[in-house]
Amino acid sequence: MKTKEILDMYPELFGKDFDPKKTLMCFGFEVGPYWREIVISYLPELSKIVKENNMDDFIIIQIKEKFGRLSIYTRNPNDKINDIISQIALECSKTCDNCGSKENVLFRTDGWYRVHCDACENNLIYWS
């Protein structure tokens, strides 16, 4: 599913206006394909909390990888939402963002920070 379709499905989470002055979701999910799927799998739960608590002032501002960690920036979350965001980040920290493997996944760095399994790390292409 395309990013715009996902954002449109959850206006209570992302708003209706993707003006870069208000939200950076106009750039989409700035994570690897498998972290994206993990985040998307939690959107119904987040949506339910926002609707049940009439959180009209809540919004997800940005979802990205930063220094090898999932970062979800929000405005006006409650404790339940913060707990779920922590849960999502923990799951991503144990999942290769490139292939989705949960085997031999490590936080790696050589100037770039990333969470990769051994296979994806060994198949990296470095530009010279």
What is the distance, to the nearest Å, from the Cα of residue 26 to the centroid of all Cα atoms in its chain? 14
Please answer whether residues 14 and 59 qualify as being in contact, where contact means their C-beta atoms are separated by less than 8 angstroms.
yes
Residue 31: pLDDT band by 50, 70, 90 thresholds? very high
pLDDT at 33: 94
Q: Which one-letter DSSP state was computed for residue 99?
A: T
Number of Cβ within a 10 Å radius of residue 101: 17
Residue 45: pLDDT band by 50, 70, 90 thresholds? very high
| Greatest mean pLDDT among 14-18, 53-57, 109-113 | 53-57
Two tokens, residue 53 = 């608590």
Sequence-distant contacts of 15-20: CB under 8 A, at least 24 apart: 15/59
Q: Which residues, 6 or more positions from 4, have their beta carbon under 8 angstroms from its beta carbon?
A: none
Please answer whether residues 58 and 85 qualify as being in contact, where contact means their C-beta atoms are separated by less than 8 angstroms.
no
Residue 125: pLDDT band by 50, 70, 90 thresholds? low
Q: Is the pLDDT of residue 111 over 90?
A: no
pLDDT tens digits, one per residue of 67-94: 889 999 999 999 999 999 999 999 999 9
* Residue type (1 letter), 125: I
pLDDT at 26: 87
pLDDT at 128: 44
Distances, alpha carbon 6 to alpha carbons 13, 66, 110, 119, in Å: 10, 22, 34, 30
Of 34-38, 47-51, 110-114, minimum mean pLDDT range: 110-114
Two tokens, residue 42 = 């939690």
What global pTM score does this model have?
Answer: 0.90
- Nearest CA-CA partner of 66 in 19, 117, 6, 112: 112
